[in-house]
Amino acid sequence: MRVLRTFTVNPSGQTVTESQKSAHISAILSARTFVRSIAVRRIAKIWKKLSFLVLFAFLAGGLYDFRIALFALACMAGPVAVSVFRGRFWCGNVCPRGSLFDSVLSKVGMGRKIPGVLRSRAFRALVIVVMFATFGVGAYHSGGSAYGIGQVLYRMIFCTTLVGAALSLVYSHRSWCAFCPMGSLASLVARRKKSARVLRVAPSCVSCKLCHKECPLGLVPHEYKGDLLSHPDCIQCGACVLVCPKKAIGYKAR
């Protein structure tokens, strides 16, 4: 009985043991996982590059019906929710406005350094207060209807996109991200949570400082040599990963 349960016969008539069978099944499963992870990576790459089109569709659709702007609430909650376990990953990889900055405006801007005042804690706190107060007052006066709240959101997103785009033309294309209220809140969460699922800088770094020159937020990745790139404002955009001649930055860099 034991022998019958342990051995089976494959289509070509050869005897297959249980361990060979389970090795075969796990090979198929890992191949599937591999294919799936490639597909997910491709979709993520396309999204990162082209999701600014979603922003354009959103802005055009909002003119037709302001209630469409309510979808923006998900995009506002996203950075903070994701920051609990992955730092500001959302900002650098999922945000459609970030895609606009990276895919379009980075090609035409002057790329000057972000002014220190825009990165200061006081300014960031002020932006959070002003934005939430504007939203709260606007929502109150709208009577709480979906249409009214959507209208408030739409105006805020339209105006902040214009501000971000204008700054991108003169300063770094990610200037807005230095003080975006949701990004700042995500940064606060990231500072407290200290996720391990962020980029790393390997000891093979030769301190050429190219990563610092490339970082759109003015961070200094090579200062984290041999450690996690744990700066709470790192949006994991990957610009430093691409420029590093030693391939010393990555999620698996050791």
Do residues 84 and 189 touch, judged by C-beta distance below 8 A?
yes
Is 54 one of the binding residues for ligand SF4 (CB under 6 A)?
no
- Distance of alpha carbon 215 from alpha carbon 236, whole angstroms: 10
Cα distances from 238 to residues 97, 183, 196, in angstroms, run 16, 17, 17
- Binder among 219, 226, 250, 251 for ligand SF4 (CB under 6 A): 219
Told to check if 205 binds ligand SF4 by CB under 6 A, we report: yes
Does 190 help bind ligand SF4 (rule: CB under 6 A)? no
Q: What mask of x and - would describe binding to ligand SF4 in positions 89 to 118, judged by CB under 6 A?
A: ---x--------------------------
Task: Work out which of 206, 226, 227, 251 binds ligand SF4, going by CB under 6 A.
Answer: 206
Beta strand pairing status for 15-17 and 7-9?
Answer: antiparallel
Question: Rounded to the nearest whole angstrom, what is the least distance from the CB of residue 119 to ligand SF4 in the complex?
Answer: 13
Distance CA 185, CA 189 (A): 6
| 238 in contact with ligand SF4 (CB under 6 A) | yes
Give, in order, the Cα–Cα distances in Å from 129 to each of 25, 44, 81, 135.
Answer: 55, 33, 20, 10
**Residue 44 engages ligand SF4 in binding (rule: CB under 6 A):** no
Smallest separation, CB 169 to ligand SF4 (Å)? 20
> Is position 236 an interface residue for ligand SF4 (rule: CB under 6 A)?
yes
- Cβ count within 10 A of residue 241: 19
Exactly one of 23, 244, 252, 254 binds ligand SF4 (CB under 6 A); that residue is 244
H helical segments located in 142-209: 146-170, 181-193
- The DSSP code for 251 is S
Tell me if 39 sits within 8 A of 123, measured CB to CB: no
CA dihedral of residues 81, 178, 54, 160 (deg, nearest 10): 110
Considering beta carbons, is residue 151 or 236 the nearer one to ligand SF4?
236
Q: What's the first-to-final CA gap in the chain, in angstroms? A: 51
Which of 29, 73, 207, 251 binds ligand SF4 (CB under 6 A)? It is 207
What is the side-by-side strand order in the sheet with 249-250? 227-228, 200-201, 249-250
Question: Which residue type occupies 94?
Answer: V
Q: Which amino acid is at 236?
A: Q
Q: Which is nearer to ligand SF4, 76 or 208 (CB)?
A: 208
Q: How far is the CB of 206 from ligand SF4 (least distance, A)?
A: 5
The yes or no reply on residue 15 touching ligand SF4 (CB under 6 A) is no
Does position 198 bind ligand SF4 by CB under 6 A? no
Tell me which residues in 55-94 interact with ligand SF4 (CB under 6 A): 92
**Distance in Å, CB of 116 to ligand SF4, minimum:** 17
215 binding ligand SF4? (CB under 6 A): yes
Q: List contacts with ligand SF4 (CB under 6 A).
A: 92, 199, 201, 205-211, 214-215, 217, 219, 221-222, 229, 234-240, 243-244, 246, 248-249
